[in-house]
Structure 1
Amino acid sequence: MVAIVAARPAPRRSALPSSPFFGIVRGPDRPAPTRFQPAPGCHRPVAPVPYNDRVLPDFDEFVARRSSVLNLDAVPTLELTTTAQGPVVMLHGLWTALALSQRKKTLLRLVDSLPQGDLAWDLTRVERLDHVGAQALWRYWQRRFPERVALTPTQRALFDHLAEFDRSRQSPAPTRRLDPISRLGASLFTLGEHLRDGVTMFGRFVIDLGRVIRHPVRAPWLEMSANIYSAGAKALGITALVAFLIGIVLSYLSAQQLKLYGASTFIVNILGLAVIRELGPVLSAILVAGRSGSAITAQLGVMRVTEELDAMRVMDIPHGLRLVLPKVIALAIAMPLLVMWTNIIALLGGALAAKYELGIGLRYFFTTLPNAVPIANLWIGLGKGGVFGMLIALVACHFGMRVKPNTQSLGEGTTQSVVTSITVVILADAIFAILFRNTGIG
């Protein structure tokens, strides 16, 4: 058995490393590699045989051959000639990124020296044209083909690609503003669409509520309790603060006018009727609409963005039973409790202001209150609170379900939900005021 070992000497570092472009070349300072030869002791020693120079040419010969193929000396130039058809701009050389970067200033001077007017262009003698060179010419042509231009099929395809890209980037035509009547019609159409979807959601809620009443086991009790806690218990602090300040302000301003006529004791009638019948329910509803209504819309909107609503539909989980029903019932239960809480804190703040401004004691204030304000006003206020809570939840769920799967639609839906909820609450309060105008007064 013959052992084979490498007899070639250790190569020194070459001035030009091997690369896929140049291949394996031998520089002047690199010795000729030798073939493998038998190890000492073998009966047929073979002398080192260098590679044939015709197989591995000298480096200078290789570079000269490569340069002749690529024609690296063909710099980009343009020439203006005059023919029978008119002036013609003829382009020569390499119109590539590397060549243009080396002769940028010279080409700019040549381009600036071209005469204005209709020029013919001949690019058929260009040895190579890449995207950078085509883009430079396309910009000089003001992004359109000259009337007379000679191109090769490859060049034509490149310029057609640039033209197609420019057409895709063109801004859409400006939309014409609608006249006032058209805008009014579009607004009414959008309003009708919202009313239709709102009535549909309310009908679905009634159907789901009937199913829950018939089968209480299927009711989403966990979701209801969680929504009652988040919409009711967590809102006690902010409602107490706002109600206390409103009671102080209302009592202070009323006291300034009552002192002029010597009717200080009527502060109980004014403050009690205003807070229990109107301010308590409306103030609580506005705070809940801004706090809980926006949270409901944002929650459903995020579920739309993250495709959770689509996943629930695929798993045959009804949105109305699991998402809408718990929120509507929770706000319908929590709102009357918040109204009662708001009434107590607002009356307490008003009583303190009346004590220091009019000298009316707290005991006299709360003793006179039941006689000054009939109990019917309390029931009206609590009933209004429950209705307001249902309306806020339905509006919030309506806009949450309409959110599109993008963040901009989520923000717009949340804003519209809060504004619409407050508007609906004020409109419903006006309807209650008309319906119960002869109840609890006098």
Structure 2
Amino acid sequence: MDALPITPAAIAHPAARELALSGSWTALGVAAIEQELKALPASATVSIDAAGIDALDTVGAWLVEKYLRRGEGAGIELRGLRPEFTRLLDAVAQQVADQSTALARPASAPPSILEALGRSAAGFLEEALALLHFVGECGLAFASCLAHPARLRWRPILFNIRSAGVDALPIVGLLSFLLGIVVAYQGADQLRQYGANIFVADLVGLSMLREFAPLITAIIIAGRSGSAYAAQIGTMSVTEEIDAMRTLGIAPLELLVLPKIIALLIVLPLLTLFADLLGVFGGMVMARSQLGVGFGEFLDRLVTAVSVSAYLTGICKAPVFAAIIATIGCFQGFRTHGGADSVGRQTTRSVVQSIFLVIVADALFSVAFSALDL
């Protein structure tokens, strides 16, 4: 079927200071008349007869409204326009007025220091309450799985044990070994001055087993696995996979969160033990090369200097660090909304918050152990 012919828009001058509009005032019909309308002085017109307009769209309405606004002080009268065209013209006029008001509105002043501080405090409180709510939901989900063990998903747990534990052995071992070397090397000069070379075993053993090995392992896992948890869940949230899981009746916490927390609770103490061994071995290597303390002498002194309680002090920190890292990573993943930039932002936030809370927890452990004389 052929399209109906479009009558071009036209402007006539039937009398002095009067215009008559006719034709199709649409995107296809006003191309030839736009420049003519711009050239007309608005002050030379007092009446516009729009009865001859056959069609009107937003382009034509915008041109008419633009001409009317040019002659706003001249009192131009528009008459004869169809009711449906009048409504469209009024809508365009309202939109133009709103845009003009927005452009004329002065830029808002930057918030004061007190206002910025209040907003930051409110945001921190909101996130803290959301985290508390998330921890409560995880606790309820874990209790439900304990009541119904068949709901535990062992395949994701084993997968996370491999990805967060076995795959992390090389980087954890290397950094712990180097850290043991650094600690022994830094203490070698001071111990040599007093002829106390053998006490390098005390320095390396206590520092690595109580503090450095659990802390460096937790920081590595926070940057490696915690960020992966946030990125994975955040991407699923952006692509609406989590909403699809809820629609299918699959609990996201049971499938995505609990396996990660359980796996990290298992592997982080084991990784800490591995870091203890590699850190002490690094100290042994440096003690032999710098202080002339053999492996046998080092181990004999290490057994005497480091008690079982000192060793367990470091190991017992690992499950707490694991719970912090897994919970923060998953929590920030669920708070991802929008697009890819939000995934990166929440991933970065999860790493920063995990490391911060791990260090805070380590400081609290130090205070508690000091009070308990451990």
TM over 0.5: yes
Greater RCO (CA < 8 Å, at least 6 residues apart): 2
Aligned-pair CA distance for 1:182: 4.5
Deviation at 1:333, TM superposition (A): 0.7
1:88-107 counterparts in 2 under 5 A? 90=19
Contact 2:68 2:76 in 1 (8 A): no
Give the one of 320, 329, 334 matched to 1:396.
Answer: 329
Deviation sequence 1:58-102 (CA, Å, 0-9, x none): xxxxxxxx9xx95x7x87688996xxxxxx585767777678756
Is 1:247 the equivalent of 2:175?
no
2:345 maps to 412
Residue 214 (structure 1) shift: 4.7
Structure 1 residue 238 displacement after superposition: 2.1
Deviations 1:119-142 (A, max 9, x none): 757464986786555545655677
Letter paired with 2:274: W
AA of the residue aligned to 1:307: E
| Residues 142 and 243 of structure 1, relative CA distance in 2, 3 Å threshold | farther
Match of 1:163 among 93, 106, 111: 93
2:274 counterpart residue number: 341
CA positional deviation for 1:331: 0.7
Provide the secondary structure at the position in 2 that maps to 1:153.
coil
- CA deviation profile, 1:94-119 (whole Å, cap 9, x unmatched): 777678756877776x46xx59x897
Is 1:148 aligned to 2:76, yes or no? Answer: yes
Quote the residue 1:233 is aligned against: 166
Q: CA deviation at 1:384?
A: 0.4
The 1:100–1:194 alpha-carbon spacing in structure 2 relative to 1, beyond 3 Å, is closer
TM-aligned CA distance change 1:256 to 1:130, over 3 Å? farther
Helix, strand or coil: the match of 1:150? strand
**Deviation, structure 1 residue 21:** 6.5
Question: Quick one: distance in 2 between partners of 1:270 and 1:256?
Answer: 13
SS of structure 2 residue aligned to 1:289: helix
1:328 alignment partner in structure 2: 261
Name the CA shift for 1:203/1:151 in 2 (closer, same or farther; >3 Å): same
**Equivalent residue letter for 1:271:** V
**Is the CA contact 1:289–1:418 (under 8 Å) kept in the aligned structure 2?**
yes
Cα distance in 1 for residues equivalent to 2:290 and 2:70: 79
* Contact 1:376 1:439 survives alignment (8 Å): no
For 1:234 and 1:205, how far apart are their aligned partners in 2?
26
1:419 shift after superposition: 1.6
Cα distance in 2 for residues equivalent to 1:422 and 1:351? 29
The aligned counterpart of 1:423 is: 356
> 2:246: which partner in 1?
313
Match of 2:200 among 267, 274, 285: 267
Which segments of 5 or more consecutive residues in structure 1 lack a partner in the other structure? 1-18, 23-65, 82-87
Contact 1:376/1:440 (8 A) holds in 2: no
Query: 1-side partners of 2:201 and 2:46: how far apart?
Result: 95
- The structure-2 alpha-carbon separation of the partners of 1:378 and 1:144, relative to structure 1 and needing over 3 Å to count, comes to farther
> C-alpha separation between the residues in 2 aligned to 1:365 and 1:244?
16
Compare CA radii of gyration and give the structure with the larger one. 1
Judging by fraction of residues, say which structure has more helix.
2
CA distance in 2, matches of 1:258, 1:151: 102
Paired residue type of 1:337? L
Q: What is the distance in 2 between the residues matched to 1:99 and 1:398? A: 57
Residues in 2 aligned to 1:429 and 1:362: alpha-carbon distance in whole angstroms: 31
Q: Does 2:11 match 1:20?
A: no
Is the deviation greater in 137-146 or in 235-244? 137-146
Counterpart code for 1:148: I
Cα distance in 2, alignment partners of residues 289 and 340 from structure 1: 17
Whole-Å Cα distance in 1 between the matches of residues 192 and 68 of structure 2? Answer: 85
Q: Aligned-pair distance for 1:335?
A: 0.5
Query: Per-residue displacement from partner, 1:287-341 (whole Å, max 9, x unpaired)?
Result: 1112211222222223333333334334443343333322211111111111112
State the distance in 2 between where 1:192 and 1:359 align. 55
Count of aligned pairs: 366
Q: Distance in 2 between matches of 1:281 and 1:248?
A: 17
2:2 aligned counterpart, secondary structure? coil
Confirm or deny: 8 A CA contact 2:62 2:92 kept in the other structure.
Answer: yes
CA contact under 8 A between 1:388 and 1:425: conserved in structure 2?
A: yes
Could you tell me the percent identity over the aligned residues?
Answer: 33
Describe the shift of the 1:137–1:315 C-alpha distance in structure 2 as closer, same or farther (beyond 3 A).
Answer: closer
Residue deviations 1:185-228 (CA, integer Å, cap 9, x gap): 44444434433343344344444444444543432222211111
Q: Give the letter for the 1:20 counterpart.
A: D
State how far apart, in whole Å, the 1-side matches of 2:279 and 2:117 are: 42
Q: In structure 2, what is the Cα distance between the partners aligned to 1:203 and 1:98?
A: 62
Inter-partner Cα distance in structure 1 for 2:140 and 2:61: 67
Q: Answer with 396-405 or 271-280: which moved more.
A: 396-405
Q: What amino acid sits opposite 2:2 in the alignment?
A: P
SS in 1 for 2:370: coil
- SS of the equivalent of 2:351 reads helix
Question: Matched residues in 1 for 2:209 and 2:260: separation?
Answer: 25
CA displacement at 1:406 relative to structure 2: 4.3
Over 3 Å counting, the alpha-carbon distance change for 1:142 and 1:104 in structure 2 is closer
CA RMSD of aligned residues (A): 4.1
- For residues 141 and 231 of structure 2, the distance between their equivalents in structure 1, rounded to whole angstroms, comes to 23
The aligned counterpart of 1:294 is 227
Q: Is the 8 A contact 1:144 1:163 kept in 2?
A: no
